[in-house]
């Protein structure tokens, strides 16, 4: 086997580093935006390109490149374990009625007088419970769009609020893939990362909630389509065991986090609680294991969605003793609920796990060859304060979202770029992971050609250029992060950071 040559590497020039990065961005953007391929193969193609440049131009051995990829992947193994565990958790939380129950009770807060705020809260709750902004916008988000249209609320406003709530919940949920990915690439841990995000996301959310409360007063005279809300709740109640017990597993997970229990044991405590609920409600051990592996498949709601005609829908409703629901509405609601709850299971997370492995392989090549080091040196030239470094991370994430076309890469690439600098600065790793989510996760939905922006356009029928001004959480959070850091608020230092660094100033020898 060839010996590694990382200690004798030839550092690339700035021009070469920039060209390599632009080619990588072109490959991934072209693959995801124009070819509309899954992001994995464009990333693999970009990684092969970087490896060829490293091998034949910079003279790295294959052993050296292989080692860099393995080290990069190993750094995220805990995140991958968490992602697989989250898949199990989501499956059991749906079967036990936890996620359906949260939706059921969440719909009670929907009132015409504060529709925008209620939309924000409901979408936040659903995304927190499921860990998925896409699932939230594609199901409850679509329903809220229809309700808002009936109330006379402008579509761009409703769409922007849906995006704000969905991405807030996704960002703050321990079940989210990006919420697990960000601390993995930065060297933080899951619950430290979430607590750190509260410093920037909490004030942002509060400001947006106040603005939406004021805006909602314009629609106080609207008439709510209560029949649709009742239909959603009725179908949920027919398929799932709805009770206040649905709050127990989330409270267990939150309590474990408050007690500073590591993420994996906390998640498994939530799984165990839901597992017991499943068995108590009559599910078999095989059923619980089945949803843990392959996820939940909708039953009654799917039957409604697949019914051939109104007579068939009426027969299904009568069988469940559901009265007062129009067959057309029942069929529509059944399809929506089926899409929302047919998910979960360990296998559902393998797309994300494989994508993380591909992205970290690319990141490992870029880092080992020195491309990231050279670009980072130019990007952070003259940075002396924590605010400047956080600003550099946020700008890099926005740039990555625009030119790499995928939110995962906007977390992985800047995360790999800035990790060593954060280690030397004395700032805690959670500062980096927080910044990656403040910009990488949130701004992805604001860029039309990003995979997130394109998906939201197809689901909501509104372009990011139209709903963007109303997606206030998504663009205000990065601004809030920069402002608060410059003010010295919510800054976390590493173990010896306070001894080495003054409160708002980085080391002179940061590089």
The secondary structure of residue 505, as a DSSP letter, is B
What DSSP string describes 40-90?
HHHHHHHHHHHHHHHHHTS---HHHHHHHHHHHHHTTHHHHHHHHHHHHHH
What's the mean pLDDT in 265-283? 91
Assess if residue 249 is contained within a domain. yes
* Beta bridge partners of residue 413, listed in sequence order: none
Question: In total, how many domains does the chain have?
Answer: 1
Closest among 288, 292, 491 to 386, alpha carbons compared: 491
C-alpha–C-alpha distance, residues 107 and 331, integer Å: 19
Tokens 């850091």 appear where? 485
Assess if residue 120 is contained within a domain. yes
* Residue of 399 and 504 predicted with greater confidence: 399
Tokens of 403: 């030119």
Assess if residue 106 is contained within a domain. yes
Per residue in 303-329, pLDDT (tens digit) is 999 998 999 999 999 999 998 898 999
Tokens of 399: 């740039």
Tokens 């509260």 appear where? 198
C-alpha–C-alpha distance, residues 243 and 98, integer Å: 9
Contact 24, 406 (CB under 8 A): no
Phi first, then psi: give them for residue 221, nearest 5 degrees.
-85, 0
**Which of 278-282, 304-308, 419-423 has the least mean pLDDT?**
419-423
Contacts made by residues 482-488, CB under 8 angstroms, sequence distance 24+: 482/387, 482/390, 482/391, 482/394, 484/199, 484/200, 484/203, 485/386, 485/387, 485/390, 485/391, 486/385, 486/387, 488/386
Closest among 4, 27, 72 to 365, alpha carbons compared: 72
C-alpha–C-alpha distance, residues 120 and 208, integer Å: 9
- Which range marks the domain in which residue 266 is found? 78-86+97-281
User: How many Cα neighbours within 13 Å face the side chain of 29?
Assistant: 18
Per residue in 141-175, pLDDT (tens digit) is 766 776 776 566 888 999 999 999 999 998 998 87
Q: Which distant-in-sequence residues (6+ apart) come within 8 Å of 503 by Cβ?
A: 488, 491
C-alpha–C-alpha distance, residues 340 and 290, integer Å: 18
Assess if residue 505 is contained within a domain. no
Q: For the chain, what is the mean pLDDT? A: 83
Assess if residue 225 is contained within a domain. yes
C-alpha–C-alpha distance, residues 73 and 23, integer Å: 23
Q: What is the pTM of this model?
A: 0.71
pLDDT the model gives residue 23: 93
Assess if residue 128 is contained within a domain. yes
CB atoms < 10 A from the CB of 464, how many? 25
Assess if residue 202 is contained within a domain. yes
Secondary structure in 3-state letters for 424-459: HHCECHHHHHHHHHHHHHCHHHHCCCCHHHHHHHHH
Assess if residue 140 is contained within a domain. yes
Per residue in 360-391, pLDDT (tens digit) is 788 788 878 888 778 777 777 767 788 888 99
């Amino acid at each position: 086997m060839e010996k590694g040559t990382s200690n004798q590497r030839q550092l690339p020039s700035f021009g070469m580093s920039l060209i390599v990065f632009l080619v990588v961005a072109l490959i991934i953007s072209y693959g995801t935006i124009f070819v509309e391929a899954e992001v994995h193969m464009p990333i693999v193609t970009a990684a092969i390109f970087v490896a060829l440049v490293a091998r034949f131009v910079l003279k790295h051995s294959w052993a050296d490149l292989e080692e860099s990829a393995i080290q990069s992947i190993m750094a995220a193994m805990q995140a991958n374990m968490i992602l697989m565990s989250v898949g199990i958790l989501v499956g059991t939380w749906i079967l036990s009625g936890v996620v359906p129950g949260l939706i059921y009770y969440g719909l009670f807060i929907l009132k015409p007088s504060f529709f925008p705020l209620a939309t924000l809260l409901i979408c936040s709750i659903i995304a927190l419970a499921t860990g998925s902004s896409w699932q939230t916008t594609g199901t409850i988000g679509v329903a809220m769009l229809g309700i808002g249209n009936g109330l006379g609320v402008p579509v761009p406003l409703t769409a922007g609020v849906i995006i704000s709530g969905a991405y807030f919940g996704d960002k703050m949920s321990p079940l989210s893939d990006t919420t697990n990915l960000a601390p993995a690439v930065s060297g933080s841990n899951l619950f430290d990362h979430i607590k750190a995000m509260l410093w920037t996301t909490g004030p942002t959310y509060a400001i947006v909630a106040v603005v939406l409360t004021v805006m909602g007063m314009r629609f106080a005279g609207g008439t709510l389509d209560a029949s649709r809300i009742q239909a959603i709740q009725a179908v949920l109640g027919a398929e799932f065991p709805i009770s206040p017990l649905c709050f127990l597993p989330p409270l267990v997970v939150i309590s474990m986090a408050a007690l500073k229990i590591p993420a994996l044991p906390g998640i498994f405590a939530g799984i165990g609680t839901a597992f017991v609920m499943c068995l108590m409600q009559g599910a078999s051990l095989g059923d619980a294991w089945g949803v843990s592996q392959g996820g939940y498949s909708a039953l009654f709601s799917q039957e409604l969605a697949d019914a051939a005609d109104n007579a068939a829908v009426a027969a299904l409703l009568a069988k469940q003793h559901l009265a007062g629901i129009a067959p057309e509405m029942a069929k529509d609601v059944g399809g929506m609920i089926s899409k929302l709850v047919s998910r979960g299971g360990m296998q559902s997370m393998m797309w994300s796990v494989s994508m993380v492995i591909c992205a970290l392989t690319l990141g490992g090549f870029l880092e080992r060859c020195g491309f990231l080091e050279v670009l980072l040196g130019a990007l952070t030239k003259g940075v002396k304060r924590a605010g400047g470094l956080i600003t550099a991370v946020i700008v890099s994430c926005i740039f990555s979202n625009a030119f790499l076309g995928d939110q995962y890469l906007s977390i992985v690439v800047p995360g790999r770029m800035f990790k060593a600098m954060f280690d030397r600065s004395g700032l805690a790793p959670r500062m980096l992971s927080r910044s990656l989510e403040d910009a990488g996760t949130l701004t992805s939905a604001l860029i039309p050609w990003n995979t997130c922006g394109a998906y939201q356009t197809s689901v909501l029928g509104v372009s990011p250029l139209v709903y963007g001004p109303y997606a206030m959480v998504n663009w205000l959070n990065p601004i809030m992060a920069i402002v608060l850091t410059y003010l010295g608020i919510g800054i976390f230092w590493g173990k010896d950071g306070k001894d080495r660094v003054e409160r708002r100033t980085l080391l002179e020898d940061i590089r």
